[in-house]
Amino acid sequence: MNKTYPFEQSPLPYEADALEPYIDRQTVQVHYNGHYKSYVDNLNAALEKSPEYQNLTLEDILKKPNDIASEVRTPIVRNAGGVYNHMHYFNGMTKDGAEGPDPDSELAKGIDDFFDSFENFQKEFSAAAAGVFGSGYACLVASPQGWLQIMTFSNQDVLPISHGYVPLLTLDVWEHSYYLKYQNKRADYIAAWWKVINWQACEKAYKEVADKLKPFSFEDMMR
């Protein structure tokens, strides 16, 4: 996959019907082939007109949006955000998701440390996702210090990355991600999403953050 212009969609890591009955085939198809693809196409169209930014990665664009000239910034940054958020959302799901992270993983330990228990984390995350006003995302993030927290953001903002945080688990709560099956019942969609989470991907992303901190005694800091 290209890391710079022209950007491509990250491949859908499962069949469109793999998340049934929790996330239905039609929603996955429209969301992936329609919405997500539009962000990629629109980002490439915006960059086509601004060759000076064609060597930037998504991370470059999103971490330093103010390095992009104001006249062309909005379409580039907004669509890069859409690409980035959708990549994380689709990669964060899998067929036959587990009930939660592997109990021996650093992620499971981190969740216990920062949210008291997995059940409590689930409750807090679901409430945060349900409470996003209008379109946006809920995200479990790791701070640069390895702390876990829940963040919500609107539209195609990318709060985590622009603040140095790493998104570990991203839930899209735009209506297009659930309306065909769940209509106005966002809470039902959120409850179903817990059944298809790719915990291995989430554990891996957290381990990468934790490993970077190891020289600074990550284990000690977690106590």
Chain residues that interact with Mn ion, rule: CB under 5 A: 35, 172, 174, 177
Tell me whether residue 172 or residue 203 sits nearer to Mn ion (CB atom). 172
Cα–chain center distance at 182: 21
Q: In angstroms, what is the minimal distance from the CB of 116 to Mn ion?
A: 31
Q: What are phi and psi of 14, to 5 degrees?
A: -160, 165
Q: In angstroms, what is the minimal distance from the CB of 36 to Mn ion?
A: 7
Distance CA 139, CA 129 (A): 8
Tell me whether residue 37 or residue 63 sits nearer to Mn ion (CB atom). 37
Planar angle of CA 116, 117, 119, nearest 5 degrees: 135
Q: In angstroms, what is the minimal distance from the CB of 174 to Mn ion?
A: 5
Tell me whether residue 37 or residue 109 sits nearer to Mn ion (CB atom). 37
Q: In angstroms, what is the minimal distance from the CB of 18 to Mn ion?
A: 18
Using only C-alpha atoms, the chain has a radius of gyration, in whole angstroms, of 17
Which helix (H) or strand (E) element contains residue 129?
Answer: helix 118-130
Residue 162 CB neighbours (<10 A)? 15
Q: In angstroms, what is the minimal distance from the CB of 139 to Mn ion?
A: 13
What six digits make up the tokens of 33? 């082939």
Distance CA 43, CA 111 (A): 35
SS3 53: helix
What six digits make up the tokens of 222? 């977690």
Point out the residue whose Cβ comes nearest to Mn ion: 172
Amino acid type, 168: L
Tell me whether residue 118 or residue 179 sits nearer to Mn ion (CB atom). 179
Tell me whether residue 177 or residue 198 sits nearer to Mn ion (CB atom). 177
Q: In angstroms, what is the minimal distance from the CB of 137 to Mn ion?
A: 9
Tell me whether residue 152 or residue 177 sits nearer to Mn ion (CB atom). 177
